[in-house]
Chain A
């Protein structure tokens, strides 16, 4: 593969992420990885549901009293919007508009960081009021499920930032286009998982 080959929007293929064999392999392999990730999160959700509100006798925390929807709603909006902005970035990637792609990715990263900040605030708040990781089976299951999602957010953000910095000077080519595409795919997956967390953990938690 020639990294110095210059493309214009006219010569750029419709699907640069699968235009090479390497790209195709990455594309299929990444979808399969997401399948494994899905099973991972399914296992974590199942555990959470089994252990929800379970703790030592006299435990003071339960899902109904603990979660506050306004904060979580703000987090949900931030993450959903960041998924939308990453779609815009990929739109520009496919049109070989590198600057616009970088700009939208930058916005995606900022929204992701804001989400992460609120999540850290939320966790810190829980620990502060005495709902720590070792508090009960419920707390362990909650922090592990939501924390694993948070770790995925950190990894996704680091991936975006590394790609943006590495390729800032050289623009789009057939070698890095699949990488940008997969990072965005990963970001959507994180978003979908969060939709389930919002529903299963927070909404169903508050309802009781």
Chain B
């Protein structure tokens, strides 16, 4: 129990990950599955760009194009970007606050498996009669008319994975509220933990409206309800409201952790304390707060009236203020710093102009009359790819490089990382910059083809060429990962050499109990403070060495999620009049609620790691560290 360095067989490793409640292993699960869906969404993106590479192309049929387009957006947002960010949140934020685990390890595992089964369910649509085809926004007037089960895969899949995300959000909130180490006050929390905290609060309040909207969709399509059916008194705009009451906070759920990752990077690689830490914290909170008041800017052309449009236009413009505060604080953090251009830092520096470009077009769209012109054109596509790729995806790539050593104990190659960066960054601007002009020239979004006489050929061809460069960048990244895993060169606690926060004070990867003794935090950037004072251990402790209480692993989260996965099939095929569908629905729910009952009734008190085991483990860690020192020095310097 006490040592995670024992060699295990393949089957035992799989079982270990299926039953784990360790936040660091759950982080790896999130990273692998999120990475897999990122590749799936990337292939879908390439199919879109191949189809649009020339006028009148017939690579995809109109119907297939709609499916690919829908699945690209849905996969990238729900199954790639969010899970990969959750991977970093899991891997890093408990370490940053000096906690041994999250508040609810069991629920952490449940959250992952719900996301995983939801994602698999959604993607099974490709093999079971067709994918959803009403866009990732799934507007009801279109979605209700969609034939086949594509939309049902969307609704049920996102319901399941949405529960998982909600659980993850509550878990991080409680962890950060209750489990901070002594001395880790709110205003000493690292920025990444702060953004995790605010993003989790957004998850908590934004996902329920989506769940409600999706339930209406399920009831309308499968059980004969009339929420959106206008002939029966329904109102299709209700869907749009719920979707965007969720959807706008969702983009902040994505971008805030990205901001957090970049904040860490700027401080580490400028070797400076973050400029304007307090302002950054309050800007984060403000963005989260305003995020709930702007949803109708997605609906300017619906006809809510000039008053509503004016209010939402103003609220939207206000968000640019805290975001601008952040940008200037980052610039002033770099200013005068001792900068090292490592791969994470290059991404961070490239992020600033890219994201600002996306922000500026965002403010343009906030002007409601102008939005009437831009609405549903490629200008919009260009805008949101500038903020999501230029912000979130660059953060994901940067974060992967930054935190890879902490998660796996090895370093990704800097050289290949730079190759990835240049291909991806060039490709990104090549693909999307020109789409602004396509939009202004009148090209509507979501069209599967265009005519040779419309004058959009050249710009579309350039855009597709850019997508190819991005794909090459991602492939180099994969090569990098494979080579790093194969080489398996271990690194020490602080491989970047300039770590500032607690996660860099402990081994890479950390032991399963994280901290043998809970650290005492003496200020912002606690590890940096100890380093500057010449403390070799990197930490001062708040408690003597003693027994540690840890939670038991459990297979139940997997079973609960599997039950919902099975029930979803029953609900979906019930509409077709299959006799087996209702028993499957009930059986699946019985599995879910039955295993919840088992969880509730069975005492699960966890176990203790004894002081002796901790001392033995500490000896092993020290021996490994010495071996590392003696051989090649780990890390950059």
**A positions within 8 Å CB-CB of B:** 1, 3, 21, 24-25, 28-29, 32-33, 35-37, 39-40, 43-44, 47, 50-51, 54-56, 59, 133-134, 136-141, 144, 162, 166, 175, 179
Query: Is the pair B232, A136 in contact by a Cβ cutoff of 8 Å?
Result: yes
Q: Which residues of B contact A40 (CB under 8 A)?
A: 208-209, 211-212
| B242 CB-CB contact with A under 8 Å | yes
| B147 CB-CB contact with A under 8 Å | no
Q: A136-B226, A136-B233, A137-B226 are in contact. Are A36 and B601 (CB under 8 A)?
A: no
Query: Is the pair A162, B205 in contact by a Cβ cutoff of 8 Å?
Result: no
Q: Is the interface of A mostly helix, strand, loop or mixed?
A: helix
Query: Is the pair A36, B178 in contact by a Cβ cutoff of 8 Å?
Result: no
CA distance A37 to B211 in the complex (A): 11
Query: Is the pair B601, A166 in contact by a Cβ cutoff of 8 Å?
Result: yes
Query: Is the pair B233, A36 in contact by a Cβ cutoff of 8 Å?
Result: no
| B616 CB-CB contact with A under 8 Å | no
Q: Which residues of A contact B11 (CB under 8 A)?
A: none
| Set A28, A51, A162: member contacting B601, Cβ < 8 A | A162
Query: Is the pair A25, B208 in contact by a Cβ cutoff of 8 Å?
Result: no
B: interface residue count bin: 35 or more
Q: Which residues of B contact A51 (CB under 8 A)?
A: 227, 233-235, 238
Q: Which residues of B contact A35 (CB under 8 A)?
A: 204-205
| B605 CB-CB contact with A under 8 Å | yes
CA distance A203 to B242 in the complex (A): 26
CA distance A35 to B212 in the complex (A): 15
CA distance A3 to B602 in the complex (A): 13
CA distance A175 to B216 in the complex (A): 39
Query: Is the pair A56, B231 in contact by a Cβ cutoff of 8 Å?
Result: yes
**B positions within 8 Å CB-CB of A:** 103-104, 166, 170-171, 173-174, 177-179, 204-205, 207-209, 211-213, 215-216, 219-220, 223-227, 229, 231-235, 238, 242, 245, 597, 600-601, 603, 605
Query: Is the pair B212, A43 in contact by a Cβ cutoff of 8 Å?
Result: yes
Given contacts A40-B211, A144-B225, 4 further A-B contacts (CB under 8 A): A21-B178, A35-B204, A43-B212, A47-B216
Residue of A29, A37, A40, A44 contacting most chain B CB atoms (<10 Å): A29
Query: Is the pair B166, A36 in contact by a Cβ cutoff of 8 Å?
Result: yes
Chain A's closest residue to B207 (CB) is A36
Residue of A1, A3, A24, A140 contacting most chain B CB atoms (<10 Å): A140
Query: Is the pair A137, B209 in contact by a Cβ cutoff of 8 Å?
Result: no
Query: Is the pair B209, A43 in contact by a Cβ cutoff of 8 Å?
Result: yes
Q: Which residues of A contact B103 (CB under 8 A)?
A: 25, 28-29
Query: Is the pair B208, A39 in contact by a Cβ cutoff of 8 Å?
Result: yes
Nearest CB of chain A from residue B624's CB, rounded to whole Å: 31
Q: Which residues of B contact A32 (CB under 8 A)?
A: 170, 173-174, 204
CA distance A37 to B605 in the complex (A): 28
Nearest CB of chain A from residue B267's CB, rounded to whole Å: 29
| Set B225, B242, B601: member contacting A140, Cβ < 8 A | B225
Query: Is the pair A175, B605 in contact by a Cβ cutoff of 8 Å?
Result: yes
CA distance A36 to B229 in the complex (A): 27
Q: A29-B103, A43-B208, A175-B603 are in contact. Are A50 and B174 (CB under 8 A)?
A: no
CA distance A21 to B105 in the complex (A): 13
CA distance A42 to B47 in the complex (A): 41
CA distance A66 to B616 in the complex (A): 73
CA distance A205 to B393 in the complex (A): 50
| Set A21, A33, A137, A179: member contacting B233, Cβ < 8 A | A137
Query: Is the pair A144, B208 in contact by a Cβ cutoff of 8 Å?
Result: no
Report, nearest first, the 10 A-B pairs whose CB atoms are least far apart.
Answer: A54-B233, A137-B233, A134-B224, A140-B225, A55-B233, A43-B212, A25-B103, A39-B208, A137-B234, A40-B208
